[in-house]
């Protein structure tokens, strides 16, 4: 099969940056991986395309190993650039290659501009530095409050008609529900919440249905956001996100409610400046050590996560009046190994211990604020799985 016309615009020296998540131009990504020039680099984030699992002549790069990037056969084959999510627009041009952006947009309006739909990421910030912008124009992408791009800025526009991917959060089990109940105790009425998409996030959202006047300021939002809206827990006009990733019902609500969809720096800046009262940032982890250091990126088998926005959001929460930074995780892996460890392995520190206020597992809450290193260790051991606590106290844990 011959390469599509737009692929022939690419050069082996390009860095092709693909919009991610529900903003991913999946058909373009799949064409790129099949027909892209040998030697070109392709930067992807959270992808929903199984085409990534096929052989390609291009070099794959990412800021972590999310979705298919963290699974065999790709695990260990992706070049990971350790960067914060809100820093990608600064970091990627430093590779010294010409930038080509692949984006997904909706139909043009009367002024000839196309909306970004339900997701705004680093490709939006890179648009003025790109050699080319190639757009998938999906006539099923809804019109939202997200920024718009002029058609005159596209080197090529590829029309499509496809539904957006449905992103299941996973069904919370008993462990996730116990974690969520503990986290809910840290979120007062009137708080502003940052939360991701996972079974733990889904459980936390459900545990907050009884709260009132909540706001949301989060890069990602899943169906937990819709649940909070239906429960009457949200205050009007207080939801600002960069991406909605969930069910068709969530997408419909985001459009109908006029949810503010903004670039990542716009989401983070007010919190980073300490101007969001009662900002509660909740993030997950693979491991937490006994001082509160967090690994959210690697296991001994390789990368399975990313830095993302964790460190920025947790530190931002600490700057806000009444703010709280929270790491929430199950105490053990699916294989029974402790996620509370004496020393992070393979030694990856995603977030510094100074940025963590609370560590929450199904066994309780470790409040680390104002605590010494030795006091922290005792508190964190207390929320580890009971069968691992003795080894952690004695320093013999693996």
Residue 149 counted as domain residue: yes
* 224 shares a domain with 145: no
Same structural domain, 99 and 195: no
Any domain includes 191: yes
Query: 141 and 207, same structural domain?
Result: no
Asked whether residue 95 is domain-assigned, the answer is yes
My answer on whether 80 and 190 are in the same domain is no
Q: Does an H or E element contain 268, and which?
A: helix 264-272
Give yes or no: residues 178 and 150 share one domain: no
Our count of domains for the chain comes to 2
Assign residue 108 the CATH number of its domain: 3.40.1080.10
Q: Would 165 be classed as within a structural domain? A: no
**Where a domain ends, among 136, 160, 184?**
160
Residue 168 lies in a domain: no
**99 and 154 co-located in one domain:** yes
Domain assignment of residue 276, yes or no: yes
pTM across the whole model = 0.95
Q: Indicate if the alpha-carbon torsion angle 219, 125, 44, 28 is positive or negative.
A: positive
Do residue 136 and residue 224 come from a single domain?
Answer: no
Q: Are residues 116 and 214 in the same domain?
A: no
Neighbours of 207 (CB within 10 A): 22
Does 125 share its domain with 239?
no
Local confidence band at 50 (pLDDT 50, 70, 90 cut-offs): confident
The answer to whether the Cα torsion of 114, 120, 123, 128 is positive or negative is positive
d(CA 339, CA 361): 10
Domain boundary among 101, 126, 160: 160
- Within a domain: 307: yes
Where a domain ends, among 160, 183, 213?
160
Residue 398 binned pLDDT confidence (cut-offs 50, 70, 90):
low
The CA angle 310-203-85, to the nearest 5 degrees, is: 20
Q: How far is Cα 337 from Cα 177, in angstroms, rounded to an integer?
A: 20
Residue 166 covered by a domain? no
pLDDT in tens, 381-394: 999 999 999 999 99
295 and 347 in a single domain? The answer is yes
Q: Give me the domain span that covers residue 292.
A: 174-394
DSSP 124: H
Q: How far apart are the first and last CA of the chain?
A: 52
pLDDT of 120-171, one tens digit each? 999 999 999 999 999 999 999 999 999 999 999 999 999 999 999 999 888 8
CATH classification at residue 187: 3.40.1080.20
State pLDDT tens for residues 307-364.
999 999 999 999 999 999 999 999 999 999 999 999 998 889 999 999 999 999 999 9
């Amino acid at each position: 099969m011959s390469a599509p016309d737009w692929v022939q615009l690419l050069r082996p020296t390009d860095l092709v940056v693909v919009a991610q998540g529900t903003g991913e131009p999946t058909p373009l990504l799949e064409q790129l991986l099949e027909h892209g020039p040998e030697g070109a680099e392709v930067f992807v984030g959270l992808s929903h395309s199984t085409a990534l699992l096929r052989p390609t002549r291009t070099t794959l790069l990412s800021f972590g190993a999310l979705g298919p990037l963290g699974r065999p056969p790709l695990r260990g084959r992706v070049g990971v650039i350790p960067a914060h999510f809100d820093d990608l627009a600064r970091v990627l041009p430093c590779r010294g290659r010409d930038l080509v952006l692949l984006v997904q947009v909706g139909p043009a309006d009367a002024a000839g501009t196309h909306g970004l739909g339900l997701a705004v990421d680093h490709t939006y910030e890179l648009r003025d530095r790109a050699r080319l912008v190639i757009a998938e124009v999906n006539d099923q992408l809804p019109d939202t409050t997200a920024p718009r791009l002029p058609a005159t800025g596209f080197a090529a526009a590829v029309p499509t008609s496809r539904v957006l991917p449905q992103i299941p959060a996973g069904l919370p089990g008993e462990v996730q529900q116990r974690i969520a109940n503990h986290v809910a105790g840290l979120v007062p009425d009137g708080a502003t919440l940052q939360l991701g998409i996972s079974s733990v996030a889904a459980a936390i959202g459900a545990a907050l249905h009884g709260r009132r006047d909540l706001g949301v300021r989060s890069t990602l939002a899943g169906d937990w956001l819709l649940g909070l809206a239906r429960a009457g827990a949200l205050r009007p006009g207080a939801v600002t996100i960069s991406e909605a990733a969930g069910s068709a019902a969530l997408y419909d609500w985001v459009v109908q409610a006029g949810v503010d969809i903004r670039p990542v720096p716009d989401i983070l800046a007010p919190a980073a400046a300490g101007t969001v009262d009662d900002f509660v940032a909740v993030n997950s982890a693979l491991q937490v050590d006994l001082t509160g250091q967090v690994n959210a990126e690697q296991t001994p088998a390789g990368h399975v996560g990313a830095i993302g926005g964790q460190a920025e959001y947790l530190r931002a929460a600490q700057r806000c009046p009444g703010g709280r930074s929270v790491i929430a995780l199950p105490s053990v892996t699916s294989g029974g190994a402790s996620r509370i460890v004496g020393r992070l392995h393979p030694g990856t520190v995603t977030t510094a211990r100074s940025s963590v206020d609370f560590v929450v597992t199904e066994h309780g809450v470790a409040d680390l604020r104002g605590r010494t290193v030795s006091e922290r260790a005792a508190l964190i051991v207390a929320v580890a799985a009971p069968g691992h606590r003795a080894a952690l106290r004695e320093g013999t844990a693996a």
